[in-house]
Amino acid sequence: MGITKICCIGAGYVGGPTMAIIAQKCPQIQVTVVDLNEERIAAWNDEDVNNIPIYEPGLSDIVKEARGRNLFFSTDVEKAIDEAQMIFISVNTPTKTYGKGKGMAADLKFIELCARQIAKVAKENKIVVEKSTLPVRTAEAIKSILDNTGNGVKFQILSNPEFLAEGTAVQDLLNPDRILIGGDTTEEGQKAIQALVDVYANWVSEDRILTTNVWSSELSKLTANAFLAQRISSINAMSELCEKTGADVNEVARAIGMDSRIGPKFLKASVGFGGSCFQKDILNLVYIAKSYGLNEVADYWEQVIIMNDHQKRRFSNNIVKTLYNTVSDKKIAFLGWAFKKDTNDTRESAAIYVADDLISENAKIAVYDPKVSRKKVLADLDYLQSRAADENVNSVLSFENPYEACFNAHAVAILTEWDEFVNYDWQKIYDSMQKPAFVFDGRNILNGSDLEKIGFVYQAIGS
């Protein structure tokens, strides 16, 4: 019998969009997304779909279509678990901030809580799907909790990692490069795999649905993120060399990207990758390798993070150095705060670290981001605990619109590649700024020679 009721625990950047697409594409399946966070669920249920908690192009229309039909958002976790035949776990798995593995290992406390809650509530056999990104062999722990604390019902654990990228989540979910499903090799395991294959087959062609064993699936997700992040650190390493040698990193990326073995994607030099996952997942990989005594493997991957940290610091150091070695009381406009364009997510955004460095040098930062509020900017800075919260309040100026942010500034720094930045009236911005007026393009998106004609001193990463 096919699946008719799905529950997803975690209504975040993965749970929300993923389930919205399943609901849209499978009207015969009732999909309930649950979360402990009442505010988040209330926002998902907001009458005005423009107020849903996650900004993703195209998402609000899909939510509008499916919500109330076969897509529901609720805080009643137990009811949804009880009713569902298939339960996705999409809770957060952040880097541990305490105890063994602090700063490296993934914190699995939310995963364990889910497993215990499922075990407590379930009265019938269920398929539990790991959607969160997890260390290899986590399914073993989940299975042990389910089997030892449950009501004697049978569970199948599948690994079904998510590969969507924020900002393009809807397109990634509608047209995935592949769907990966790992399960047990037993007959029951294979049946569970087939049940999930059948869900995806509603809109994904079967040749794009890969099935494998659980451990390969879990490790493939960490490997994919490590490889993607490694490409960024590789091109960023070259960007520093370009700046010293007169080469242009965009030209280098273009030249190597045309080699079909290398390919053109993920070769954009930047102020550093951000987002909730690359750093967390690589640190986790490093931790796993170390825990098996594989120190060379661990050191190899750790270098991707070291390079990324260096790139962020290098960008802020360059601003200070170029502004005559002092930014004290200088206004520096930040265009962009989100970790990439087309998202309101700021987790691990390079902007946070660059701002933190500059505030430590007594700069005043005026941030404008089309999707990020001042409250969020301050919360991100406070989270670093570099200084008292009121010092952050005093150092971050108001930012109602980009022209206001740039008014009277000594420099503009581009931290996110929002398309709209390219179309600003840069003459107007120049006229309103302190002279000489500097632009530090951390995303390589502006036309440097046009800005130089206006009078700006323009510096881009890698040229």
Active site residues: 277
Q: Which residues are annotated as a binding site for NAD(+)?
A: 10-15, 35, 40, 91-95, 132-133, 166, 277-280, 347
Q: β-strand 411-414 against 396-397: which pairing, if any?
A: unpaired
Q: Judged by CB under 6 A, which stretch of 114-122, 225-233, 254-262, 320-328 contacts ligand UGA? A: 225-233
Residue closer to ligand UGA (CB basis): 156 or 444: 444
Question: At closest approach, how far in Å is the CB of 214 from ligand NAD?
Answer: 16
Question: At closest approach, how far in Å is the CB of 183 from ligand UGA?
Answer: 20
- Please give the Cα distance from 400 to 440 (Å, whole number): 21
Question: At closest approach, how far in Å is the CB of 272 from ligand UGA?
Answer: 7
Which of ligand UGA, ligand NAD, none lies near 15, with the C-beta cut-off 5 to 8 A by kind? ligand NAD
- Non-local (6+) Cβ contacts of 349 within 8 A are 274, 275, 337, 338, 339, 380, 415, 416
User: Total residues contacting ligand NAD (rule CB under 6 A)?
Assistant: 27
Main-chain dihedrals φ then ψ at residue 45, nearest 5 degrees:
-95, 0
Q: Which of 30, 132, 133, 250 binds ligand UGA (CB under 6 A)?
A: 133
Q: Is 45 in the site for ligand NAD (CB under 6 A)?
A: no
Q: Is 443 in the site for ligand NAD (CB under 6 A)?
A: no
Residue corresponding to tokens 């037993």: 186
Residue closer to ligand UGA (CB basis): 32 or 270: 270
Q: Is 166 in the site for ligand UGA (CB under 6 A)?
A: yes
Question: At closest approach, how far in Å is the CB of 401 from ligand NAD?
Answer: 28
Q: Which of 43, 49, 113, 297 binds ligand NAD (CB under 6 A)?
A: 113
Residue closer to ligand NAD (CB basis): 114 or 415: 114
Q: Is 285 in the site for ligand UGA (CB under 6 A)?
A: no
Q: Judged by CB under 6 A, which stretch of 30-38, 171-179, 251-259, 318-326 contacts ligand NAD? A: 30-38
Q: Is 340 in the site for ligand UGA (CB under 6 A)?
A: yes
Q: Which residues pair with 364 in a beta bridge?
A: 331
Q: Judged by CB under 6 A, which stretch of 5-13, 21-29, 288-296, 372-380 contacts ligand NAD? A: 5-13
Q: Is 13 in the site for ligand NAD (CB under 6 A)?
A: yes
- Please give the Cα distance from 80 to 126 (Å, whole number): 12
Which of ligand NAD, ligand UGA, none lies near 311, with the C-beta cut-off 5 to 8 A by kind? none
Question: At closest approach, how far in Å is the CB of 161 from ligand UGA?
Answer: 8
Q: Which of 166, 243, 302, 356 binds ligand NAD (CB under 6 A)?
A: 166
Question: At closest approach, how far in Å is the CB of 345 from ligand UGA?
Answer: 8
Q: Which of 3, 7, 8, 11 binds ligand NAD (CB under 6 A)?
A: 11
Q: Is 297 in the site for ligand NAD (CB under 6 A)?
A: no
Instruction: Find, among 183, 182, 127, 130, the residue nearest to 156 by Cα.
Output: 127
Question: At closest approach, how far in Å is the CB of 152 from ligand NAD?
Answer: 23
Q: Which of 16, 150, 183, 275 binds ligand UGA (CB under 6 A)?
A: 275
Q: Which residues are annotated as a binding site?
A: 10-15, 35, 40, 91-95, 132-133, 162-166, 221-225, 261, 268-274, 277-280, 339-340, 347, 443
- Please give the Cα distance from 101 to 99 (Å, whole number): 6
Residues in contact with ligand UGA by CB under 6 A are 133, 162-166, 225, 228, 232, 266-268, 270, 273-275, 277-278, 339-340
Residues in contact with ligand NAD by CB under 6 A are 9-15, 34-37, 40, 77, 90-93, 110, 113-114, 132-133, 162, 164, 166, 276-277
